[in-house]
Chain A
Amino acid sequence: MAERSLRVDVVDRTAPVWSGPATFVTVPTPEGSIGVYPRHQPLLSVLGEGEVRIQSGDDAWLIVQVSGGFVSVDSDVVTVVTDTATLEPNTT
């Protein structure tokens, strides 16, 4: 079986911000942060203010600044819903 990956959607109030496959995602919560790998159990969590870090390739990280909202994880689909999201242009 091929290695499973996550599908990540980041949407804000006015438009979808980013969407694509990823191998690992961390999201900020009011009490810290949560890391999500494929096969994570279904999760519905409050989103804190901070940065969502998405590992979209072996060494490629994508960072999105978010301002609160919520995140849902269900069958390897991660949906980050936030009021305003800004994509950081420099990804390392």
Chain B
Amino acid sequence: MAGSQRAYRARIASTSALKKIFRAMELIAASRIGKARDAAHASEPYTTALTRAVSAAASHVGSGIDHPLLSERDDTSRVAILVLTADRGMAGAYNAGVLRETERLMASLAEEGKTLDLYVVGRRGIGYFDFRGVNLAQTWQGQSDAPTPDLAGELADALLERFTAPAGQGGVREIHVVYSHFRSMVSQVPRVIRMLPLEVVEGVVEPTELFPLYEFEPSPRLVLDALLPRYIQARLWDCLLQAAASELAARQQAMHTATDNAEDLIRTYTRLANQARQAEITQEISEIVSGADALAGAGS
């Protein structure tokens, strides 16, 4: 009987230790979301200025626009996919959602007869595809929940190189990005966007806004050359920040649930331990009483 009491006490102790860890991780995730949001907020002026300039340049150059990053290529059937996952789990369905969306995209692209090249950010995604024996073109890890602009730069360089390469040297015709869109603290949705070729320039060119007749220095083409890669990079940076915020929000939520569960468990085990203690006392008393009775009966 004493054994079961001890077992319950041990469980309570280990569960409360776990609860402390869950709680700490929840708080860490919560504080990092603030940072991710600040980073997104701080890079907003850059993105806005860039988007404005791209629309201005695009509207100026007009529909006869001819730039490698804007035109569809059909000389190859290779397609690149960039997948943004987390480095760690413990974030509920975050990684599973992104990976499921990736599988769906891969299936639909494969159906169209396209060859796929995968670029993966985050240890969970790398592990997932490694385990399934999928070859990965390039991987990055170690900063999924706090991305740096340098990472966005590396991603943009790697992808642009593939997109501008000739068909024989691994050129790709499309680049898709799968990431998790941060809708709110409680809702993050996996999302697929086609990064390249750029669709000119979706939702940005508003007919109501008239751009002045810009003078381009040195030439419209060279200005576009300078703008578009930066635009890609800014969009990738935005995706990375969204993914990081989603990961942290999902983790905070998961850890909050885990903390609640731990509390429930502790409560249940405390009740069971009390019951066991009470049963033990009752038994001891009844043993003593029956022993005393027996002695009294023998003495008289």
- Which A residues have a C-beta under 8 Å from some C-beta of B? 9, 11-16, 29-31, 34, 41-47, 68-70, 72, 74-75, 79, 81, 83
Tell me what chain B mostly uses at the interface: helix, strand, loop, or mixed: helix
* Interface contact A46-B46, CB-CB below 8 Å: no
Given known A-B contacts A44-B56, A44-B223, A13 and B217 have beta carbons under 8 A apart: no
* Interface contact B46-A44, CB-CB below 8 Å: no
Residues of A contacting B2 with CB < 8 Å? Answer: none
Nearest CB of A to B180, in Å: 22
29 pairs across A/B with beta carbons < 8 Å?
A: A12-B46, A13-B46, A13-B152, A13-B233, A13-B234, A14-B39, A14-B46, A14-B149, A15-B43, A16-B42, A41-B215, A42-B212, A42-B214, A42-B215, A43-B214, A43-B217, A44-B57, A44-B216, A45-B217, A46-B226, A70-B223, A70-B226, A70-B227, A72-B52, A72-B56, A74-B214, A79-B53, A81-B50, A83-B230
Residues of A contacting B42 with CB < 8 Å? Answer: 14-16
Q: How many residues of B contact A (CB 8 A)?
A: 31
* Interface contact B43-A45, CB-CB below 8 Å: no
Is B296 an interface position by the 8 A CB rule?
A: no
Task: For the complex, give the distance between the alpha carbons of A69 and B225 in Å.
Answer: 11
Complex partner residue of B53 from A9, A12, A41, A70, CB under 8 angstroms = A70
Q: Which 9 pairs, one residue from A and one from B, show the smallest C-beta to C-beta distance?
A: A45-B217, A42-B212, A15-B42, A11-B45, A46-B226, A44-B214, A11-B46, A13-B149, A42-B214
Residues of A contacting B298 with CB < 8 Å? Answer: none
Residues of B contacting A29 with CB < 8 Å? Answer: 217-218
Residues of A contacting B49 with CB < 8 Å? Answer: 9, 11, 72, 79, 81
